Amino acid sequence: MEVYIDNRQDKLEIDDELIELIEKTMSETLKIEDKSLDCEISLSFVDNNEIKNLNREYRNVDSSTDVLSFPMEDDFALNHIPILGDIVISLEKALSQSKEYGHSFNREMAYLTAHSMLHLLGYDHIEEDDKSIMRNKEKQIMKSLGIFKK
């Protein structure tokens, strides 16, 4: 698995522990979904302002959000390695949500990564049944990582 990271924000520091957790979450998601680890994923860290602009441009929603997922819709591959897509995470939003929900920043980042990876793999949460399926998958991934105990 190749993960290409683009840090486009300067509000929060990104350490090796966080990167390892994110990559482990991506890998665990692929394993649980019985998908090959032979793929490429682009991950961008942004601030609330940039994610708001992206949300408005690509989803016609004029507000900030925590994470955006852009699945690669074609079977396009460079050097025969499938590209799953792009993940964009607002570190500002992740930090504020971690405080709001009373858990660690790293736990929030793992959850947002799992959530976004599931979107790259075709899951969504528009319909209530789909939302339930996706939430159960997120819990399974977080349990497998040892983050959720239940």
Q: Tens digits of per-residue pLDDT, 98-113?
A: 999 999 999 999 999 9
Examine residue 87 and state whether it is found in any structural domain, yes or no.
yes
Examine residue 15 and state whether it is found in any structural domain, yes or no.
yes
Q: Tens digits of per-residue pLDDT, 4-42?
A: 999 999 999 999 999 999 999 999 999 999 999 999 999
Examine residue 111 and state whether it is found in any structural domain, yes or no.
yes
Binding residue positions: 115, 119, 125
Examine residue 41 and state whether it is found in any structural domain, yes or no.
yes
Burial of 57: CB neighbours in 10 Å, binned 0-12, 13-18, 19+: exposed
Binding residue positions for Zn(2+): 115, 119, 125
Q: Check if the beta carbon of residue 116 is closer than 8 Å to that of residue 89.
A: yes
Examine residue 52 and state whether it is found in any structural domain, yes or no.
yes
Q: Check if the beta carbon of residue 78 is closer than 8 Å to that of residue 68.
A: no
Examine residue 150 and state whether it is found in any structural domain, yes or no.
no
Range of the domain at 117: 2-144
Q: Give the pLDDT confidence score for residue 126 in this predicted structure.
A: 83
**Coil, helix or strand for 91?**
helix
- What's 47's domain CATH number? 3.40.390.30
Q: Say how many domains are in the chain.
A: 1
Name the one residue in this structure whose structure tokens are 């079977």: 75
Alpha helices in the chain (DSSP H): 16-32, 48-59, 91-101, 105-120, 128-144
140 - beta bridge partners? none
Examine residue 149 and state whether it is found in any structural domain, yes or no.
no
